[in-house]
Amino acid sequence: MHKSSIVGRGQIDKIIFNFLSYTIVGIFALACILPFYLVVIGSFSDERTIITEGYSLVIKKFSLEAYKLIFKNPISIIRAYEITIFVTVVGTICNLFITLMTAYVLARKDFPWRNGIMFFFFFTTLFNGGLVPWYLLCSEVLKFNDKIYALILPLMFSVWNMIIATNYIRNNIPFEIIESAKIDGAGDFTMFIKLIVPLCKPLTATLALFTALAYWNDWYNCMLFIRNENMYTLQYYLQELLNSAEAIRRIAEKSGRIVQALPMESTKMAMTVIATGPIILLYPFLQKYFIKGITIGALKG
Amino acid sequence: MEKAHNTFSLFHKDRKVGVHTFWKNILKNKILLLMLLPSVLYVIIFNYIPMGGIIVAFKNYNYQDGFLKSPWVGFENFRYLLISNKLWLLTRNTILYNIAFILTGMIVEVGIAILLSEMSGRYFKKICQSAMLLPFFISWVIVAAIVLNIFSFEYGVLNNFLRSIGAEPFDLYSNQSIFPLFLVLLRIWKNTGYGSVIYLAAITGIDREMYEAAEIDGASIWQRIRYITIPCLRPTMVIMLILALGQIFKGDFGMFYQIVKNNQILLEVADIIDTFVYRSLMSSTDIGMSAAASLYQSVMGFITVIIANKIVKKVEPDYALF
């Protein structure tokens, strides 16, 4: 009682608030991290211990078996990595080039048809033919099946990113710069490469990050178009592994037996770690760009 | 986006430009037009041509005859969807899940953003924010693996724990009543970090002087949140809400596909238009019906976007999309 009169009402509110906010935010943050930790623990755990005792919070019996199993025949995992990295790099570069170039043209005040063309792009975000005609076009007409470009083309241009970029250029690059470059005799394309792109570094960085992430995490296009196991992306490879293990488990369950000799549990977790790895490793470095990117594209919808 | 409504107006100012100046303009802007070519071609091929492919919904599609030669069946595909009672169930699931995601998401995102903004410890705040953002950057495949790790009936961490304290194990994957709730929680888990950044950015934009003045007037921290932060966030919240409502017929395919898989027990409560369209497309005998369902989704989506935009125009004209 004596203390409260010294600290004052405002201070007590502040203390209560801080207590609440630290607890709530802390617990939520923990809930976001803990599952990743559990997967890592699972991947380093002994298979037999998992089967008899289940997964746990601590490593009961350390084992590298799962990783050894995966890397005993590393060809397919290395291939999945190769495909994913190739698709991510090529796709991101193409996407950025096309998106920024379009945004630059549409941001130029002296381009006479910019409103009409903007609507031409924008309309596609309002209405689309749906999955079925798109899929039939890609697989039947454009022959996407088992082609590497099936993994690149579907994510190569994004109207939303283009709109964000157009607004960014319009708001951040004074039109006078373009005009004076024009007077100095710079061509439209040279101006884009030498002037606009360097001036748009924060925008380029964030769009690059988000596009790269979309490519890296893509399993959908792989699922639709790729049948050749040598062309599976990392995420789809993991999905197939999980599904086949799950299928075996369900069959075993239906037949009333628990298959003891299933060396799958820790392997699944090890594969999850391998597929998540690069993102987790890069994450601390890229995090501030993520936040900037979300803020730049805040109204992406 | 603020200036967007001028940008998208269909009509160009100079209607009176003659044919002569038109060609002169094209010549003058040939490099710029050439620079637009890749994206314009892209959108024509991948967006506009499939719009014509909508006719598949009115046909009995087969791979031999293709788009044009497959026989017309009129509204047969739609009729089949209707009488199978599928349409109602799918629409209900899609819309209810979206409403639940939008409302719970918004409450948690705004709440976390406010807590973060008022927090004093800088490091703790930074670390927690990074932790909360992490799930957003992980694919649904990995989330599905993680969910399995925790909730798997035989080996999951949770059931392992329940067994060790002598409680009944809990089978998430065959529990129709809990599963929708679980999906909502999972969605919050994955998206809160991302959403709270948007609101945090909006809070940072609020004039600090207002808080200082309130503090001098003796407002408690609760009062400041209630009378300054929340009212200032209202426009952002309204816009996010209406934008999300515009997408209400579109379900998150990745989430539902990866978490539910082909689990027949769960499909009853967790089948959405997108997963249904995918499954009937892959079964390759139901392509017409699949196209009908996806056309239905597109048309309804289009209508909701138009309505949502009309509402934005009334509430907050600056944020209208067109």
The ipTM (two decimal places) reads 0.86
Give per-10-residue mean pLDDT for chain B (322 aa): 43 57 82 92 94 85 77 82 84 93 94 90 87 90 88 79 80 84 94 90 86 84 86 84 84 90 82 89 82 90 88 76 68
| d(C-alpha A247, C-alpha A241), whole Å | 10
pLDDT by residue (tens digit) across B130-156? 889 889 989 999 999 888 888 887 777
| Predicted local distance difference test score (pLDDT) of residue A259 | 52
Question: Residue B217's closest chain A neighbor by CA?
Answer: A10
pLDDT by residue (tens digit) across A172-221? 888 888 888 888 888 888 888 888 888 888 888 888 888 999 999 999 99
Q: Is the pLDDT of residue A2 over 80?
A: no
Cβ contacts of residue A212 below 8 Å, gap of 6+? A88, A92
Question: Residue B292's closest chain A neighbor by CA?
Answer: A132
| Predicted local distance difference test score (pLDDT) of residue A254 | 59
| Predicted local distance difference test score (pLDDT) of residue A226 | 92
pLDDT bin (cut points 50, 70, 90) of residue A248 is low
Cβ–Cβ of A137/B50 closer than 8 Å? yes
Size of the A and B interface in Cβ pairs below 8 Å? 308
pLDDT bin (cut points 50, 70, 90) of residue A62 is confident
Contacts of B301 in chain A (CB under 8 A): 127
Give percent of chain A above pLDDT 70. 87
Q: Is the pLDDT of residue A253 over 80?
A: no
Distance of CA B77 to the CA centre of its chain: 27
Cβ–Cβ of A217/B138 closer than 8 Å? yes
Residue among A22, A24, A238 whose CB faces B141 most closely = A238
SS (H, E, C) B100-130: HHHHHHHHHHHHHHHHHHHCCCHHHHHHHHH
Cβ contacts of residue A278 below 8 Å, gap of 6+? A216
| Predicted local distance difference test score (pLDDT) of residue B15 | 52
Contacts of B159 in chain A (CB under 8 A): 54
Question: Residue B260's closest chain A neighbor by CA?
Answer: A243
Calculate mean pLDDT across residues A222-240.
91
User: What is the widest separation between alpha-carbon atoms in chain B?
Assistant: 86
Would you say how long chain B is, in residues?
322
pLDDT by residue (tens digit) across A6-58? 456 678 888 888 888 899 999 999 999 999 888 888 888 877 777 676 666 77
Residue among A112, A117, A258 whose CB faces B25 most closely = A112
Long-range CB contacts (within 8 A, 24+) of B260-266: B261/A243, B261/A246, B261/B144, B263/B173, B263/B174, B265/B173, B265/B174, B265/B176, B266/B173, B266/B174, B266/B176, B266/B179
Contacts of B3 in chain A (CB under 8 A): 167, 170
Distance between B283 CA and the closest CA of chain A, angstroms: 12
